[in-house]
Copies of this chain bind each other. A is one copy, B any other.
Amino acid sequence: MKTDAARHGGRRNDPQSMRNKLIDTAYTAFVRNGYHATSMHDLKHEAGVSGGALAHHFPTKKDIGLSVLRDRVARTVEETWIAPLQAASGARHGILGIFEEIVTELEGRGSVMGCPLNNLSHDMARQDPDFREEIELTFQHWHEAIANKIRAAREPLDEVDPDAFATLVIAVYSGAMAMARASQSAAPLRVCSDQLDRIMRGWGVV
């Protein structure tokens, strides 16, 4: 068992971390610059890998696009929305907390690069039906998480339809993110969070 790295200067095969490095680079580049605007050459250059390695793990650009959707975008939605929502004491507190989190994170760095799912949705979904299918699936998971949180309320709210409300929340968030990107400011996010707060209070959402 000679897995010693520093033995000699030769290369070491580590397909898993090589693959992860490529997907991470692609995820960042796709979200920041777009899928079409990112070339394969950009990926090898930024990830510091050879053309052979890239072709070995991802024969076509579509392959790495699908992997980014499945392995990164879905997980990002899971981490920033679904998990925090389930952990929150109530739907309202959970949703507002997520908005708060995003706003502070946005203001931390200078620029607003938007919601990963929506960004990739726009220039990947129309390109390929497989992309669209994957994106729609992630939207559905997101939707279910919000609707379930409403349904899990202590006393049932007969004034709000869980599914319709979940759609509204996703729409507000996605739209606010799009506006934030266009204006390069977190203001729309904050405004929409406040409006959503009023709406939920009016409907008795805890």
Contact surface of A with B, Cβ cutoff 8 Å: 32-34, 36-37, 113, 118-119, 121-123, 125-127, 132, 135-136, 139, 163-165, 167-168, 170-176, 178-179, 181-184, 188, 191-192, 194-196, 199, 202-203
Closest Cβ of chain B to A192, distance in Å, is 5
Give the residue name and chain of the B residue nearest to A32 (CB): B126
Closest Cβ of chain B to A137, distance in Å, is 10
Knowing that A36-B36, A122-B181, A126-B181 are A-B contacts, what are 11 other residue pairs whose CB atoms are under 8 Å apart, sorted by A's residue number? A37-B123, A37-B127, A119-B122, A121-B178, A122-B123, A123-B123, A125-B181, A139-B179, A168-B172, A168-B195, A171-B188
Closest Cβ of chain B to A1, distance in Å, is 48
Give the residue name and chain of the B residue nearest to A172 (CB): B171
Interface pair B123/A34, CB less than 8 Å apart: yes
Interface pair A195/B122, CB less than 8 Å apart: no
Closest Cβ of chain B to A133, distance in Å, is 10
Instruction: Specify which chain B residues have a CB less than 8 angstroms from the CB of A192 in the assembled complex.
Output: 167-168, 171
A47 to B192 CA separation, bound complex (whole angstroms): 42
Interface pair A121/B182, CB less than 8 Å apart: yes
Instruction: Specify which chain B residues have a CB less than 8 angstroms from the CB of A202 in the assembled complex.
Output: 199, 202-203
Closest Cβ of chain B to A136, distance in Å, is 5
Instruction: Specify which chain B residues have a CB less than 8 angstroms from the CB of A183 in the assembled complex.
Output: 136, 139
Instruction: Specify which chain B residues have a CB less than 8 angstroms from the CB of A184 in the assembled complex.
Output: 132
Interface pair B182/A125, CB less than 8 Å apart: yes
Most chain B CB within a 10 A radius of its CB, from A113, A176, A178: A178
**A165-B195, A172-B172 known; A36+B136 contact, CB < 8 A:** no
Closest Cβ of chain B to A127, distance in Å, is 7
Interface pair A171/B167, CB less than 8 Å apart: no
Give the residue name and chain of the B residue nearest to A129 (CB): B184
Contact partner, A170, options B36, B113, B175, Cβ 8 Å? B175
A82 to B24 CA separation, bound complex (whole angstroms): 42
